[in-house]
Amino acid sequence: MEQLVALLGQEEFNSRLDSTFVISRESVFGGGKTIDAFSGLHSYYNHGNQPNLHITGMFNFSGKPWLSQKWMRTICNEFYGTEGIHGYGYGQDEDQGQLGAWYVMAAMVLFDVKGLTAPNRLSR
């Protein structure tokens, strides 16, 4: 992460990353507003596509951890729901509880961005 931020520069990295969430918010972070098997496939960031789940925590490595907190909270509030039809976004796949687990970790403002490759480095 540190090398990627250094390559782009902090300002450019943060600008690009923040715009990812600004743009994706229009489609409820890939959760969509319609029910079909392809919900989220046309969005910039698709929260229901589990390999994307670490991206909100990347601000923790670029000097703006408050943006990780902002976007995690926004996704918790807007992508997830209590209605049966919305749940984890329209047409999303809950793959072995990963979306639910992300919500629990995000609610505690924790997420392992590096996939357990760097012990004791949970983003917070």
- Report the first-to-last Cα separation within the chain, whole angstroms: 15
Please report which helix (H) or strand (E) contains residue 117, including its range. Answer: none
In angstroms, the CA 14 to CA 99 distance is 25
Q: How confident is the model at residue 109 (pLDDT cuts 50, 70, 90)?
A: confident
In this predicted structure, the answer to whether residue 121 has a pLDDT above a threshold of 60 is no
From the number of C-beta atoms within 10 Å of its C-beta (0-12, 13-18, 19+), residue 11 rates as exposed
* pLDDT tens digits, 10-67: 999 999 999 999 999 988 887 776 665 555 566 778 888 778 888 999 999 999 999 9
Average pLDDT over residues 61-81: 91
In angstroms, the CA 124 to CA 122 distance is 6
